[in-house]
Amino acid sequence: MELKLFIIGIAFLIIAIAMKIFRRIKYYNAAPSVLWSKTYSFVDTVWTALLIASIIMYLFIQAFKIPSGSMRNTLLEGDHLFVNKFIYGFHIPFADGKRFFPLTKIKRGDIVVFQAPQSALSNEEKAAGLEKDFIKRCVAVAGDTVEVKNKKLFINGIEQEENYVIHDDSTSYPEFSARILDYQNSWENGFFVSIPVRDNFGPVIVPEGYYMMMGDNRDYSFDSRFFGPVPDKLIKGKALFLYWPLSRMRIIK
């Protein structure tokens, strides 16, 4: 999606420059009619607005609609929000997700929008080249040891106080009995997508350059417990402001 926005922005910029050149040629070769002048002025205004909007969408702000109930009750299905795309630094195009000018690092507790890793996509979605954006809460950063015991989240051996988390399913899946020899490697490669590790998971260590994302609606969230850690290059930005519906308008924390 970011590549598409970048290409659209470049296209708008080229068209805007071409229109300026054309306008100057017309100015020197003939006096434009009133109708031409008004038409050109309108088109010029529209292209300028589109160019500015493309730059803003690519670099600064992204509109996002909550697609599922995985973040209940913090965010509800259908909520519309703005995502701050520059707070973690700008992505450099064609540089494999490298960033520059970060204002802050991703921290535990941040609500983050990111492109779904390949392990989170179905075979049909992969074959179609589909890209999906998820929104989850960052619960652990590189170097953290993560474990879930009977639905309780532990980071570096300490049980976390998560007032925003809800558990609506009284069922508790036991620890996965057929222990995988290399649990860490299997998790990093997204091999748990169909394994019941929801309520008892880990321990694993978040690798360098990755984050662990989990939904606040913990019993109904498809997240990093299943598809693995999220690489920094897939991070789109931080949830900033909920603008619709009006009754729920607020800064997101």
* 108 and 206 housed in the same domain: yes
Residue 139 shares a structural domain with residue 226: yes
Burial class for 182, CB neighbours closer than 10 Å (0-12, 13-18, 19+): exposed
pLDDT digits (tens, 9 = 90+) for 114-132: 999 999 999 999 999 999 9
pLDDT tens, residue by residue, 240-252: 999 999 999 999 9
What is the full per-residue pLDDT of the chain (253 aa) written as tens digits?
444 444 444 554 555 555 555 555 554 454 556 655 656 565 556 556 555 555 555 567 888 999 999 999 999 999 999 999 888 987 766 666 677 777 899 999 999 999 999 999 999 999 999 999 999 999 999 999 999 999 999 999 999 999 999 999 988 888 775 566 689 999 999 999 988 899 999 899 999 999 999 999 999 999 999 999 999 999 999 999 999 999 999 999 8
Count up the domains in the chain and report the number: 2
Q: Are 187 and 237 part of one and the same domain?
A: yes
* Rounded Cα distance, 59 and 68, in Å: 26
Report yes or no: 56 and 74 within 8 Å, Cβ to Cβ: no
Q: Are residues 82 and 138 in the same domain?
A: yes
Phi and psi dihedrals of 90, rounded to 5?
Answer: -80, 135
Both 46 and 160 in a single domain?
no
pLDDT of residue 33: 61
The pTM score is: 0.77
Query: CB of 227 within 8 A of CB of 213?
Result: no
Query: Is residue 229 domain-shared with residue 240, that is, in the same domain?
Result: yes
Cβ pair 66, 208 in contact under 8 A: no
Q: How do 201-205 and 80-84 pair as beta strands?
A: unpaired
Q: Which domain holds residue 48?
A: 2-59
Q: Are 98 and 212 in contact (CB under 8 A)?
A: no
Same domain for 66 and 55, yes or no, is no
Q: What strand order describes the sheet that includes 152-155?
A: 158-159, 152-155, 145-149, 201-205
Which amino acid would we find at residue 2? E
